[in-house]
Amino acid sequence: MDLRGQKVDMIVKPTTSVYAPFYISSRGYAVFVKGTWPGRFDFCATDPTRVTIEFEGPSLALKIYTADTPAELVKAHALDAGPPFLPPKWMYGTWRWRDEHTQRTQYYDGTPVTGPFNSELMEDVLLMKAYGIPLAVYWVDRPWGPGPLGYDDFEIDTQRLPNFETSVKWLNEQSAQMLLWIGPFFQGRMQTEALAAGWTLAGQRPSRNNYPLCDLTNPDARRYWQNGVAKLLKMGVTGFKLDRSEEDIPEEGPTKVFDGRTLREQRNDYPVMYVQAADDVAREHREDFVCMPRAAYTGSSRYGVFWGGDIGGTQEGLRAEIIAVQRAAVMGYPNWGSDTCGYNQQSMDTEVCSRWLAFSAFNPIMEVGPTANRAFWNYHNPPSYDAQLIALWRLYGRLHTRLVDYSFAQAKLAHETGMPIVRPLFLAEPNAPAAWSNWWTYLYGPDVLVSPVWKKAQRTQDVYLPSREKWRDAWHPEKTYDGGQTITVDAEPHQIPIFVRVGSSLDLGDLNREWTDARAAAAARPDLKALDAEVHDWFARLKQAH
């Protein structure tokens, strides 16, 4: 997280794209540049004695904070830029998704599909339940509609997702919510009408993807797009993955957007207007909802939660996300998660994915997918049954679920005070050099300390324990350690080093017993024929009742 010697362009770029024109210094100050014009921070790269800040536009407004601790700097900025959105409690449960859902005639093991919903959705939900893996949120990514991009007119493709509205009710009966992918552009009939009405973003060239984008500064265009989103909310959808607001956005040229700003000035503001538009229409239909954009700039935190973009499914991708969750927290985005096991560069490596599952359990958002559109019972290439990953999904999914109340309490604190959920060690103990150098270790709220492992074949981990506290090893509860020291602990492939503050009432359970139970559950393949029949019978009874 130390950017000394680097230059950072402050213009939102795809696809790892949560930005804030804000930094903190170990010298005890912070700077927040206001406005939406692009700019650049030169952190002692050109001149080793100074930070140089340059922004475009006719004026420059910035705020300089001073405080005794970095935590006070972070909190002050988070409230100025926010306050951060407070999601519903169910958001802190476990999530599952695939990048594309295909409607198949057979489940992964050849069992015929007779149930009434998308076969891959049913496979995920039924097997997660059979293995004892909690499910709080299920999201269906694009394509879910008709048309070449699977996104025409905010309509559901009934061939791909039969009985969609009823499938939402089926999920809700199991205390799970449905999320859908959306983008800020028009397709189908809406595309034709938006182009004719002049509701599209100036300066954009026709292309296959992300075209035509909605001019979100135009109230009529904004409402037309929101009317499409409202169709989904009326079906019971409780949230959206908001993609693409930093991709193919024009940023040069003489034309202006509807509100009179240049393309350059509105470039960084586009992701903010996008999530605010989704938030506004969601509030018209329900109180509990989540908008999760990929891109963000100052102001986005008031309306959404976030994920780490299209990251590679490698050990280096995992390393990047261990840093990213902490940087997002410092920048005022407390609710964040990553694509567990990566999105692109799908190596399908069991050890990397094992480590990632453990790390994600200590993110506010634990979403598992896309895993190459497969689940761990049909993973790798060629497909094979990975009992290790199934067991780890159960172990860490259940642990994450036991933390829901704790996570939600920390989210309230973030909303009210700006203190993030994930806390780099230097927020807890800025005077300790190890708190700045032991970057892979962080606090999850005040009572839990975790130290994710990202290197393959690594079996021990150096962990700095903050002083003024005693810490209990969650894997070996009989062991406690004084804070203010760096210790070396075992870190087998199924173990993330976890420590609980002595005196906390938090109960993580017997992790070793959980691991034994998880391996036993993963060793036996559930009977999909019987599980499928239960859904078939549930649907038949529902039709009969109506």
Residue 347: the pLDDT is 78
Mean pLDDT of 397-416: 98
In this structure, how many other beta carbons lie within 10 angstroms of the beta carbon of residue 196? 9
The answer to whether residue 500 scores a pLDDT higher than 90 is yes
Residue 339: inside a domain: yes
* pLDDT over 70 percentage in the chain: 100
- Please report whether residue 344 resides in a domain: yes
Residue 421 sits at φ, ψ, to 5 deg, of -75, -55
In whole angstroms, what is the distance from residue 357 CA to residue 368 CA?
8
Per-residue pLDDT tens digits for 269-327: 999 999 999 999 999 999 999 999 999 999 999 999 999 999 999 999 999 999 999 99
Work out the burial of residue 507: count CB atoms within 10 Å of its CB; fewer than 13 is exposed, 13-18 middle, 19 or more buried. Answer: exposed
Per the structure, the complete domain to which residue 210 belongs is given by 89-408
Per-residue pLDDT, 371: 81
User: Is residue 220 in a domain?
Assistant: yes
Q: Does residue 172 form part of some domain? A: yes
> Which pTM value belongs to this model?
0.98
Residue 133: pLDDT above 90? yes
pLDDT(191) > 90:
yes
pLDDT tens profile 135-175: 999 999 999 999 999 999 999 999 999 999 999 999 999 99
Report if residue 460 sits inside a domain.
Answer: no
Please report which confidence band the pLDDT of residue 241 belongs to, taking 50, 70 and 90 as the band edges: very high
pLDDT at 370: 80
pLDDT at position 450 over 90: yes
Give Cβ neighbours of residue 467 (< 8 Å, ≥ 6 apart). Answer: 429, 432, 482, 483, 484
Q: Which amino acid is at 256?
A: K
Is the pLDDT at 107 greater than 90? The verdict is: yes
Please check the confidence at residue 372 and state whether its pLDDT lies above 90: no
Q: Domain tally for the chain?
A: 1
Whether residue 54 is contained in a domain is answered as: no
**Average pLDDT for the chain:** 97
Residue 150, Cβ density class (10 Å: 0-12 exposed, 13-18 middle, ≥19 buried): middle
pLDDT band for position 452 (cuts 50, 70, 90): very high
For residues 354 and 128, what is the distance between their CA atoms, to the nearest angstrom? 17
Range of lowest pLDDT (78-82, 109-113, 371-375): 371-375
Structure tokens at 472: 């209990």
Per-residue confidence at 90, pLDDT binned at 50, 70, 90? very high
Q: Is residue 198 part of a domain?
A: yes
Has residue 480 been placed in a domain?
Answer: no
CATH of the domain at 130: 3.20.20.80
Over residues 394-408, mean pLDDT: 98
Shortest CA distance to 201 belongs to which of 149, 281, 255? 255
Note whether 525 and 105 are within 8 A (CB): no
- Residues 6 or more apart whose CB falls under 8 angstroms from that of 407 comprise 92, 364, 421, 445
For 378-388, write each residue's pLDDT tens digit: 999 999 999 99
Q: For residue 461, is pLDDT > 90?
A: yes
